[in-house]
């Protein structure tokens, strides 16, 4: 079995989003978020989103 991407990297979320879109979901991001909230809960999902947002802006800041 292949290793899963690191939790909080966003790659797992993207994979679920892609799979949901392929199966015909109208809002695939909502499907992925719903699955995450169900598995990890509100507090953990918010922490991962915050971590991802900080990483995104840190990369953007260094590109200038």
pLDDT at 31: 95
Q: What global pTM score does this model have?
A: 0.69
pLDDT tens digit sequence for 9-49: 788 889 999 999 999 999 999 999 999 999 999 999 999 88
- Outline where the chain has alpha helix (H): 11-22, 28-63
Q: What is the pLDDT of residue 64?
A: 55
Sign of CA dihedral 3, 38, 28, 25: positive
Of residues 60 and 31, which shows the higher confidence score?
31
């Amino acid at each position: 079995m292949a290793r899963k991407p690191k939790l909080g990297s966003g790659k797992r979320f993207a994979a679920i989003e892609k799979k949901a879109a392929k199966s015909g979901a109208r809002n695939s991001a909502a499907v992925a978020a719903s699955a995450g909230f169900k598995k990890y809960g509100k507090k953990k999902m918010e922490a991962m989103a915050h971590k991802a947002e900080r990483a995104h802006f840190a990369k953007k800041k260094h590109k200038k």
